[in-house]
Structure 1
Amino acid sequence: MFLEAALALLALSLSLLCRPWRMLGSRPGPGGMQDPVLSPLLTPLFASLVLLPWVWALPALHQMPLQLHWSGAPLVVLLIGWPLAVPVLLAVGAIAFALAPALDVSEALGMVVWQGLVPATLAMLWGAAMRRWCWHNIFVFILLRGFFGTVLCLFVASLLGQWAGHVLPNINEDLSRMARWLMAWADGVTTGMLTAVFVVFRPRWVATWSDAIYLQPPRSPEN
């Protein structure tokens, strides 16, 4: 529990240093400063606070031989950015803890860290690497960041959580790794699909998306 508390406190401290609340401030509307418009990121933020707690609490609300976990943390990072995602994921964990009386404090903290903060941080680092070393294209953003990046980050985070002692009940180690790999793919398919939908129809909901970066016109061949 000490490791999870230290990681959560470190992530929250770093996110607050970035002053994420600035992303939610009002912006000038069509009429200038006299007609401010609320940040479009409020929609995915409130959606995360409403939907994710039930998803996280679901394994503790029913009894099954294999508890299926869905994270959604990489999607939250894509939508509202890592600095804002950290306090949101902490709030999601607190709400899930309130919804599931079967969870104790150590289990809830482990869920927040290994199901939320760690994959979110890995997704942020993966996205920075993709922007730095990969070509800028809408399909690269959707496939490498939304789909494959989610699978990779969640699988690595789940293995780290297993190493830290958060194991799947009644499942041996080898089968547990296979189950975590399959659950990461389920998360990746959902995140990739929603990323594609939001980039096309609601790009203002995706804080990590930029038309200027990923929709650059093709360069003309040099003579």
Structure 2
Amino acid sequence: MSGVISGFQLAGFAAAAVILVMSFPREFGPKFRAEKDYQHWVLASMVVLFLLWSLTAGVSDGLQVHFLALTTLSLCHGWRIAALIGVLPTLLLALFGLLPFADIGIYLVVSVIVPAWLSFLLFRLTYRYLIRHLFVYIFVAAFLNGALTIAIHQLLNGGVMWLSGLYSWHYIVDNYLVLTPLLLFPEAMLNGMAITLLVVYQPRWVRTFHDNDYLSQ
């Protein structure tokens, strides 16, 4: 997607703007200004995301694959703050020529907002319906959650590219979705290991983890 901004790309900008404004976490600003440790944590999250998202394997324009790590981010910050944190790395990708400026809106919706929201939704389902145990939190809410999130992201991104008219569904399946199984275990491992380290060494950074819930069984 390049050149003149299409109606599809404008719709992406509009959708991203509306979702980010409507879901803006009011507690984020005061906490960010007041707590220096939190500032460092948020900025470190942005840097890690930018570096991780920069490592892409290109199939065709709009059909790049990369790890998300948004399951970890959502478990640590909640999906609203996770989506907000993902804005700066997305802008940096565009600034460094790794993402067309016209595609920023679509990228934010498909590769940031929806995966963050989905990851948090899956966590809430595990919290409500499964036993609250450390193993469940790490293996289901982080490991399996990460795998399922990237699988759905791949399907969603492929669907968006098909709706945009750039590629046929046959081409997307044969050249993009076929790579999905190769991403499941690495993405799951990335999130599972990150959350394991965080709950062991810095549990206060993981917003969704509470000792009384997961360590008192």
Same fold by TM-score greater than 0.5: yes
- Residue 69 of structure 2 corresponds to 72
- Residue 99 of structure 2 corresponds to 103
- Residue 117 of structure 2 corresponds to 121
What amino acid maps onto 1:186 in structure 2? P
Q: Normalising by structure 1, what TM-score?
A: 0.78
Is 2:50–2:93's contact at 8 Å kept on the other side of the alignment? Answer: yes
Q: Secondary structure at the match of 2:67?
A: coil
Q: Distance in 2 between matches of 1:22 and 1:78?
A: 20
- Residue 172 of structure 1 and its aligned partner are, at CA, apart by 4.5
What amino acid maps onto 2:106 in structure 1? G
Q: Distance in 2 between matches of 1:15 and 1:42?
A: 20
Q: Distance in 2 between matches of 1:102 and 1:124?
A: 27
Q: Distance in 1 between matches of 2:41 and 2:178?
A: 31
Aligned residues with identical type, % of pairs? 23
Q: Normalising by structure 2, what TM-score?
A: 0.80
Is 2:70–2:116's contact at 8 Å kept on the other side of the alignment? Answer: yes
- Residue 174 of structure 1 and its aligned partner are, at CA, apart by 3.8
What amino acid maps onto 2:50 in structure 1? P
- Residue 173 of structure 1 and its aligned partner are, at CA, apart by 1.0
Alignment root-mean-square deviation, CA? 2.8
1:161-212 residue CA offsets vs partner (Å, 9 max, x unmatched)? 11111789xx651452231232233211101011001101110111111112
The alignment status of 1:131 with 2:127, answered yes or no, reads yes
The alignment status of 1:183 with 2:183, answered yes or no, reads yes
- Residue 10 of structure 1 and its aligned partner are, at CA, apart by 3.3
1:178–1:51 Cα change, 3 Å: same
- Residue 81 of structure 1 and its aligned partner are, at CA, apart by 1.6
What amino acid maps onto 1:150 in structure 2? G
- Residue 84 of structure 1 corresponds to 81
Is 1:150–1:187's contact at 8 Å kept on the other side of the alignment? Answer: yes
- Residue 64 of structure 1 and its aligned partner are, at CA, apart by 7.3
Q: How many residues align?
A: 203
Instruction: Structure 1: state its 5+ residue gaps.
Output: 27-37, 219-223
- Residue 30 of structure 1 corresponds to none
- Residue 5 of structure 1 corresponds to 13
What amino acid maps onto 1:77 in structure 2? S
Bigger-Rg structure (1/2): 1
Task: Give the structure with the larger helix fraction.
Answer: 2
- Residue 146 of structure 2 corresponds to 150
Q: Distance in 1 between matches of 2:65 and 2:84?
A: 24
1:24–1:131 Cα change, 3 Å: farther
Q: 1:49 aligns with which of 37, 46, 50?
A: 46
Is 2:24–2:80's contact at 8 Å kept on the other side of the alignment? Answer: yes
1:13-72 residue CA offsets vs partner (Å, 9 max, x unmatched)? 23215543354364xxxxxxxxxxx3654343111211222332333xx87789441112
1:67-106 residue CA offsets vs partner (Å, 9 max, x unmatched)? 441112221111222221121111221122112x253223
- Residue 147 of structure 1 and its aligned partner are, at CA, apart by 0.5
